A and B are shown apart, each in its own frame.
Chain A
Amino acid sequence: KNQVEQSPQSLIILEGKNCTLQCNYTVSPFSNLRWYKQDTGRGPVSLTIMTFSENTKSNGRYTATLDADTKQSSLHITASQLSDSASYICVVTINDMRFGAGTRLTVKP
């Protein structure tokens, strides 16, 4: 079983709407949890990084939260734009990086 599970697998929303992506993990404790955005045919780009003790981290319209008790993280995207269409990957780092399978977000006009 994967140690980092993401949901939903895919999501379609209308431009301007908000959405929340989920990441559940089983590994604990960890060094940090990162959210990456990966455009099709490109490498992942870091959006946020949180240490084990942090609860929230924002980067523009992206806000990541972390609940160490429930071992859940979420990535909230506000006022979505067409350019937000991409895969969003949750990565938990222990002594190596554990990747989630990603959520494929499609923003439609």
Chain B
Amino acid sequence: GAVVSQHPSRVICKSGTSVKIECRSLDFQATTMFWYRQFPKKSLMLMATSNEGSKATYEQGVEKDKFLINHASLTLSTLTVTSAHPEDSSFYICSASQPGTGYGYTFGSGTRLTVV
């Protein structure tokens, strides 16, 4: 079945630094990947939709300059949290679309970001 790998699973960084999170589709080519943020005991909130070879589409209220998304290949999308602040601490999850579906049904295992 489709597998999406997300790395790292946990990261702690200092305020003001940048952190990169990787999302890879291991056994299929993902034309579209999605990035979510999840607060404790809350559901997933879509941050942006990333299409291979083009600019990401951000949801309303998500700062594109803070959350940089790059989808340079059909198997890799990255989310970079720039100049991180403690309020950026959260659980970030990616998902990827299998060919022909257009929907990110398969999720990565998530990244717990803590900014100190």
Whether A43 contacts B110 in the complex (CB less than 8 A), given A34-B105, A93-B103, A97-B104, comes out as: yes
Query: Which residues of the partner chain B approach A104 to less than 8 Å between Cβ atoms?
Result: 41
Task: Judge whether B64 is part of the interface by a CB distance below 8 angstroms.
Answer: no
CB distance B107 to A45 under 8 Å? yes
Tally chain B residues at the interface, Cβ within 8 Å: 19
CA separation between A104 and B107, bound complex, in Å?
A: 19
Taking a contact as CB atoms under 8 Å apart, the answer to whether B110 and A42 are in contact is: yes
**Pair B93/A46 contact, Cβ less than 8 Å:** no
> Within the complex, what minimum Cβ distance (angstroms) separates A41 from chain B?
6
B112 and A41 form a contact (CB under 8 A):
yes
Size of chain A's interface in residues, with CB distance under 8 A?
19
Which A56-75 residues have a C-beta within 8 angstroms of B?
A: none
**What sequence of 0s and 1s flags, for each residue 25-37 of chain A, a beta carbon within 8 Å of any chain B beta carbon?**
0000001001010
Q: At the interface, yes or no: B43 with Cβ under 8 Å from chain A?
A: yes
What residue in chain A is nearest B109 (Cβ atoms)? A43
Q: Determine how close the nearest CB of chain A comes to the CB of B101; give it in whole angstroms.
A: 9
CA A44 to CA B91, docked complex, whole Å: 12
Contact between chains at B43 and A41 (CB < 8 Å): no
- List the interface of chain A (C-beta within 8 A of B): 31, 34, 36, 41-46, 49, 89, 93, 96-97, 99-102, 104
